Structure 1
Amino acid sequence: MLLNVSHIYKSYGEDNIIKDATFTVDEGSKVAIVGNNGTGKSTLLKIIIGEIMADDGEVTLKKDATMGYLAQYQEDAFSSNILNTVLSAREDLLSMEKRLSEMESMMSSIDNSEMAKFMDDYHKLQHQFDLQGGYTFRSEAIGILKGLGFEQDDFDKSMNELSGGQKTRVSLGRLLASSPDLLLLDEPINHLDLKSIMWLEGYLSSYKGAVIIVAHDRYFLDKIADHVVDLSYGRTSVYTGNYTAFMQQKEIYMISYERSYEKQQKEIEHQKAVIDKLQSFNREKSIKRAESRKKLLDKMDVMDAPDKDMPKMRLTLEIEKESGKDVLDFSHVTKSYEDKNIFTDLSFEVHKGDRIAILGDNGTGKTTILKCINGLTDFESGEIRFGANVTVGYYDQEQQGLTETNTIFSELHDAYPFLTETKVRNTLAAFMFTEDDVFKRISDLSGGERGRVSLAKLMLSKSNLLILDEPTNHLDMDSKQMLEDALNEYDGTLLYVSHDRYFVNRTANMILELSDGKLIKYLGNYDDYIAKKEQLYGTQTESVSLGASEETAAKLDYKEQKRIEAEKRKLQNKISKIEEEIETLESKKAAIEEEFLKPDNMTNSAKLNELTAKQKEIDSRLEELYDEWGLLNP
């Protein structure tokens, strides 16, 4: 065990941020900490490194183990250039390197009588330098910087010349170069492009030390994590596997938890009924028995109510009318900004039912394509035509379609004046804006709140073509899943730009890759796109970036993917059948418990024996079903 986090509590005022956080991190393990915004993920990292004191609990790191931390908002200040800043992570090696150089320059002046001792010291230092990676750390530092998106020409740039995002990348590079036993990374990919993210996935997957990561990129977590710590709703739960495995397990866990909660509530009500009955007999023996039962009931560890009543976004995307088969023709379009050409003679078509994701590096013009389609920017030549009966709903990542001086309520009411006040309020409630929240100014909203307002407007539009620009930005994990589910149920056509590969994987049936001003079409989702690129261009795609030893879903061919999906459906059907039988038996058991309480039966020993036998039979079968359910838990 490398790290033990034991019963950590943290509050700010009356807000309980972290409640009883307990988990361990083994050497070499990769742990993701997840949870909705405000659940204390960053706070927990700061408690682990000692930057913040916990109200209660203990953090224990293995003796002599080293720890490195990358904050979400980096404040490190270095006066050197980029390369020397990263190299400074290994001051021990730089010091040894300098000493070796000094000794080499002294060799010619050493007296023969002292040469043997001098050379012995030199070789010992040289051996230590070699063992600690002294002859490779410069090339490794350069490799890290290139992986994080820096070019050779950037290495001599002063840190003072860099933007905040570039400084964070250098700080990440310096941290990786230091190679601690435990890396703690808070949103490490915020300032990385897709190529750098894929490189980092490979680096961390093969990293010999342990890693704790807080990140909103679910595909990134899928590639790296082997354990997930979930801080949702003030509880800490630990799951084995990557993010997808966590979601599957959590769903089953929540079903099990809800059933256990309902079962306990029934048991509590049953015990209360028995206690009331015993007390009603008004006999000394019966009253003592009632008191005994009441003491046991008071000592019961009562489960918290399930999270299903917690506020969550509710999104349903419907269309008002069907579009024609041909939805959009983007034909021979050329676009430039001042002297910079963005794309030339670009063409693609969108047909009814398409779910197209446009992918590409930053600055290639993805968002520009969407703005051209929506008439938000001019283009030099070409034509953009919509098909018959096409109605467009547009989600702008910069939320420029929102009026800053409006309240949330007036924003929706101005856009849809025919809606009643009740309908507007009900819509906003579905997006977690209730009571006085609806009168907040748009200008005062957070990024996540602005995103939810835009999604509410999008839902009300009932458009049959949705054009979305980075729709998952600023959304928490639950809201992202709600959006994905809504889009997968949506009967219209979808065209979007997104860096969220998990989102693309769940919602796209076609990828348009924008590179060097050209579009290349790939059928399928993100995994299919990666697999096809590997097939076409060899292995010099994401698989190499991720590390040759890592087996990923992206390497599976289309048939293998379908086979796995079929097995998942088969497993889910089996689980559903078990759940249905459990529900039926629980209902029968509840009916038997009611029979026990009937006055006629309480004095009928034959009937009581019959009911007891039935109850034992049901309990035995329920035990079998719960065991089988547990074995099917992925």
Structure 2
Amino acid sequence: MRGCPLRRPSSDGTHLPPDGPTPPGHQPARRYPPGVLTASGLSRSFGTRTLFKDASLQLGPGRRIALVGSNGTGKTTLIETIVGLQDADAGEVHRPRDLRIGYLPQELPTETGRSVFEQVMLGAGPVTELAHQIEALGIRIGETSGADQVRALDDFGEAQSRFEQIGGYAVESDAHRILSGLGFDPADHGRPMDEMSGGWRMRVALARLLLSAPDLLIMDEPTNHLDVDSVAWLEQHLAAWSGGLLFVSHDRDFIDAVANRVIELAGSRLTEYVGGFADFVVAREEKLLLQQAMAAQQSRQVAHTERFIERFRYKATKSRQVQSRIKSLEKLDRVVVDRPEDPASRFGFPKPRRSSRLVAELEGVTAGYDDGDGLEPEIVLRDVTFDIERGRTVALVGPNGAGKTTLVRLLTGEMAPLAGRVTRGTNVDISHFDQLQAEILDDQRTVLEEFKTVPGVGTDGRNPRTYLASFGFRGDAVDRRVGDLSGGEQTRLALAKTLAVPVNLLILDEPTKVLTPGEADELGRILRHMADDDRTVVFISHKLHEVTGFCDEATVLRGGETVAASLPVSETDSSALAGLMVGSSPVISERPPPVVAGGPKLEVVGLGCLDDRGLQALHGVDLTVRAGEIVGIAGVAGNGQRELAQAIAGLRPTTAGTVHMDGMDLTAATPRQRFGAGLAYIPEDRMGVGLAPRLSVTDNAILRTYPIHRRGPFLDYEAAVAHCQDLVERFAVRTGPLDQPIAGLSGGNLQRLLVGRELSGRPRVVVAAQPTRGLDVQGVKAIQDLLVAERGAGVAILLISEDLDELLTLTDRLLVMHGGRVVAEFDPELAVRHEIGEAMVGHVPTSSASA
């Protein structure tokens, strides 16, 4: 295809544009809008099958486009043609020379030899090079002594300053923030890529791509490997994306949250609609009705013309008029009515035997995994109790790691409980579907041949072709090789095979992940049909609208425990289910005793700053924190909380406003000067910003204060160790030898060390950003107790957290941020939770007082 050569990947994981468009033969040079990728007249066929014809579109800043269509229509082929990985049969793609394109495919090559964080940081360019230099200096500090060590410490300080100046801490913090948003536990950021499964590798690739912030982002099914929390985070991130965006997705909620345009690929044609998925459905229906009306009118006109021709065909006086009408019919541009490609509702499922009323029951079940190392087994489920009755569609929901997979293994008999009892009813026959089912299909068979491997198919009176048509395989589609199917089509075939087995208990694990919205709705109708026929279904999904739309009841797992069992779906909604899945902190029980706040310690007036893309992140933020007071900041992630903390700490330049502490203007002060003035900063990224993982416990303990531990030109090592030992004892840090690197410490002990180092200087103001994120129960309580103790000592504390229960319990005043502004203030003791939630999404309740 002219203008569409295969492009080379750049060092940051995006794809570089080719050296300008190829001139289209001898045609005059076409004018293209600057900064916009333009595809014109693209066509592609495989044999006699045309995927798309004369397809044209533009991708530029502010255009967030969802590409939708049934599986196998050619969506992946189209986007690979757009990025230059495939050639089209006709047409061209113009990519401006300086346009940076990032592409996330469905399949990735294996990446090894780096940690998760290092792999993501490949998207950061020069920042990564300086980070490696700092790491090398850290190693040098640990390997040298005397004057060489002092010089290494000085070089380390200078490198850190340069790192701050080019926004390195912000980029590293961004990388950790993106990883956390995509579901990575902080402890996993340093894990080797070799240990990551395919789904987690895809998340790493997505994080690297987002960190690189390309001008145009193109993604093929980006939510396939994400849980509900990660999808929500990605929705917020992409909804604020200022560049161009093209993505393929079957998740209608995700499309509605992100896209401002929808392009449908159907019948080999592209049709663009303005708005999200809901707008697209309405507009497509209106278009279909208009097409049908126009086609009916045209049909009447054609019939009238044909009657005239037949009536006067052999009349000499009318011959000229007859010939004219015949030619007009030959030239007529017929109105084509689009036919929705959703599967027809024709089932014919095999009749299973009838099971007992009680299909399965779990009583006080505890389950886990024994690694055979002689230690206690890892407990995954604790004291789980619920039952499943015949003819019910039961949803099993919960965040990743909640124990859903283990529960399925207990139901199928793949594992036995460590305690409690799992009872299956009589005459219970089980079939289990998960995403791995598509991987065991035979690529060399046709769709029909593969389907006939199901026992009984073809011999029980059912027509296999009619059955497959119910799953979108009509006509010649059943003769296609399995290896030629798209990933979604293969999953659909695997699902058809699962449902064709005559069982009375069907367990479906994320069955709609690669189905189009229409196909997902059709599956919902299938499940309701099966339940009406006394079959039982266990349905696992992160798409809560499917849970409320398809299921009769829901059991919610969180942290290995059932927080709601057999909850009637008709009496709840998606937001209530989401609340049960997220839950509250188990260590927060009662508010700290009241204290009388003193005078202002931290005063922020009209503060403004930019984010890492150069867009305004804060808009005139005003806040005051008094002595002996904890002021909380709540808000949906990405609304300026991180930038606010960094601006107060001096790690992010301000564009407007002032920062005063005890009346002293610190707006232009460096981070070190602010620390010297009594400001302690606990960053949300403890390993990327707060601590140096290659340095020893002692080195990290004195990073803030190493100049005072000098004896002349040399480091007073005994004094440094004594300072570290005192810090470790006072803040209950569990550690090994103090001269060993901190990388081996647990997340809770790393956070204790960081908080202890910051608080050991007797600060007057503490800015704590997500200080308990990723910690276990004991770690959370330890950090919260330290903050409460500092409040009691008269320290002013600004606490930024995404744990609303933590904020409502610990804080004296609660501010809510949205869109880079403080939009509301609440009294935590009197606040109504749903009003805080409304403020977090920009709907300021009248009962709140704007700060």
TM bucket, shorter chain? 0.5 to 0.7
Q: In the TM superposition, what are the counterparts of 1:53-68 in structure 2 within 5 Å?
A: 53-61=87-95, 64-68=98-102
Given the two structures, how large is their TM-score scaled by the length of structure 2? Answer: 0.52
Residue aligned with 2:319, SS: helix
Contact 1:395 1:468 (8 Å CA) reproduced: yes
1:291 match: 323
**Counterpart Cα distance in 2 of 1:340 and 1:134:** 38
* Residues 89 and 345 of structure 1, relative CA distance in 2, 3 Å threshold: closer
2:593 match: none
- Work out which of the residue numbers 16, 41, 51 in structure 2 matches 1:7: 41
Q: Does residue 396 of structure 1 match 2:433?
A: yes
Deviates more, 1:520-529 or 1:7-16: 520-529
**Counterpart Cα distance in 2 of 1:442 and 1:12:** 15
Q: In the TM superposition, what are the counterparts of 1:141-540 in structure 2 within 5 Å?
A: 141-157=175-191, 159=193, 162-280=196-314, 282-284=315-317, 286-304=318-336, 306-307=338-339, 314-315=346-347, 328-338=360-370, 339-351=377-389, 354-385=392-423, 394-397=431-434, 398-399=436-437, 408=450, 410-412=452-454, 414=456, 419-420=460-461, 423=463, 426-431=466-471, 448-449=489-490, 451-452=492-493, 454-455=495-496, 458=499, 461=502, 463=504, 466-473=506-513, 475-489=515-529, 490-491=531-532, 492=534, 493-521=536-564, 523-524=568-569, 527-530=574-577, 532-533=579-580
- Work out which of the residue numbers 27, 32, 43 in structure 1 matches 2:77: 43
* Residues 228 and 317 of structure 1, relative CA distance in 2, 3 Å threshold: farther
Give aligned pairs, total: 520
Give the superposition deviation at 1:544: 2.7
The one-letter code sitting in structure 2 at the alignment partner of 1:394 is S
Contact 1:373 1:384 (8 Å CA) reproduced: yes
Deviates more, 1:169-178 or 1:75-84: 75-84
Deviates more, 1:312-321 or 1:211-220: 312-321
* Residues 411 and 272 of structure 1, relative CA distance in 2, 3 Å threshold: same
Give the superposition deviation at 1:33: 0.8
* Residues 503 and 314 of structure 1, relative CA distance in 2, 3 Å threshold: farther
Give the superposition deviation at 1:236: 1.0
**Counterpart Cα distance in 1 of 2:432 and 2:298:** 45
Contact 1:334 1:346 (8 Å CA) reproduced: yes
**Counterpart Cα distance in 1 of 2:47 and 2:440:** 34
Contact 1:346 1:519 (8 Å CA) reproduced: yes
Deviates more, 1:77-86 or 1:362-371: 77-86
Cα displacement string for residues 238-273 of structure 1 (whole angstroms, at most 9, x for unaligned residues): 122222332343344334434433443343233222
**Counterpart Cα distance in 1 of 2:501 and 2:482:** 18
Work out the percentage of aligned pairs sharing the same amino acid. Answer: 29
Residue aligned with 1:307, SS: coil
Deviates more, 1:185-194 or 1:73-82: 73-82
* Residues 215 and 436 of structure 1, relative CA distance in 2, 3 Å threshold: closer
**Counterpart Cα distance in 2 of 1:196 and 1:308:** 31
Give the superposition deviation at 1:62: 6.3
**Counterpart Cα distance in 1 of 2:250 and 2:203:** 17
* Residues 138 and 519 of structure 1, relative CA distance in 2, 3 Å threshold: same
Q: In the TM superposition, what are the counterparts of 1:596-607 in structure 2 within 5 Å?
A: none
Contact 1:312 1:478 (8 Å CA) reproduced: no
* Residues 242 and 506 of structure 1, relative CA distance in 2, 3 Å threshold: farther
Q: In the TM superposition, what are the counterparts of 1:123-138 in structure 2 within 5 Å?
A: 136-138=170-172
1:620 match: none
Give the superposition deviation at 1:278: 2.6
1:623 match: none
Give the superposition deviation at 1:86: 3.3
1:113 match: none
Contact 2:41 2:92 (8 Å CA) reproduced: yes
* Residues 178 and 409 of structure 1, relative CA distance in 2, 3 Å threshold: closer
**Counterpart Cα distance in 1 of 2:432 and 2:90:** 44
**Counterpart Cα distance in 1 of 2:210 and 2:547:** 29
Cα displacement string for residues 277-296 of structure 1 (whole angstroms, at most 9, x for unaligned residues): 2324x123x11112222222
More helix by share: 1
Pick 1 or 2: higher relative contact order, CA cutoff 8 A, min separation 6.
1
**Counterpart Cα distance in 2 of 1:92 and 1:401:** 40
The one-letter code sitting in structure 2 at the alignment partner of 1:379 is P
Give the superposition deviation at 1:215: 2.5
Cα displacement string for residues 405-440 of structure 1 (whole angstroms, at most 9, x for unaligned residues): 9955654553796x23x5556445544567898899
* Residues 316 and 235 of structure 1, relative CA distance in 2, 3 Å threshold: farther
Give the superposition deviation at 1:230: 1.0
* Residues 535 and 54 of structure 1, relative CA distance in 2, 3 Å threshold: closer
The one-letter code sitting in structure 2 at the alignment partner of 1:288 is R
Given the two structures, how large is their TM-score scaled by the length of structure 1? Answer: 0.68
Residue aligned with 2:267, SS: helix
Q: In the TM superposition, what are the counterparts of 1:547-562 in structure 2 within 5 Å?
A: none
**Counterpart Cα distance in 2 of 1:29 and 1:238:** 12
The one-letter code sitting in structure 1 at the alignment partner of 2:527 is L
Contact 1:205 1:224 (8 Å CA) reproduced: yes
**Counterpart Cα distance in 1 of 2:577 and 2:402:** 19
Contact 1:355 1:494 (8 Å CA) reproduced: yes
Deviates more, 1:140-149 or 1:156-165: 156-165
**Counterpart Cα distance in 2 of 1:99 and 1:371:** 48
Give the superposition deviation at 1:8: 1.8
The one-letter code sitting in structure 2 at the alignment partner of 1:520 is V
Residue aligned with 1:141, SS: helix
**Counterpart Cα distance in 2 of 1:534 and 1:375:** 26
Contact 1:317 1:462 (8 Å CA) reproduced: no
Residue aligned with 2:70, SS: coil
Contact 1:356 1:496 (8 Å CA) reproduced: yes
The one-letter code sitting in structure 2 at the alignment partner of 1:247 is V
Cα displacement string for residues 146-169 of structure 1 (whole angstroms, at most 9, x for unaligned residues): 223344444455556655544433
- Segments of 5+ residues of structure 1 without an aligned counterpart are 101-125, 561-634
1:631 match: none
- Segments of 5+ residues of structure 2 without an aligned counterpart are 1-32, 135-160, 371-376, 586-631, 640-816, 820-832, 839-851
Residue aligned with 1:372, SS: helix
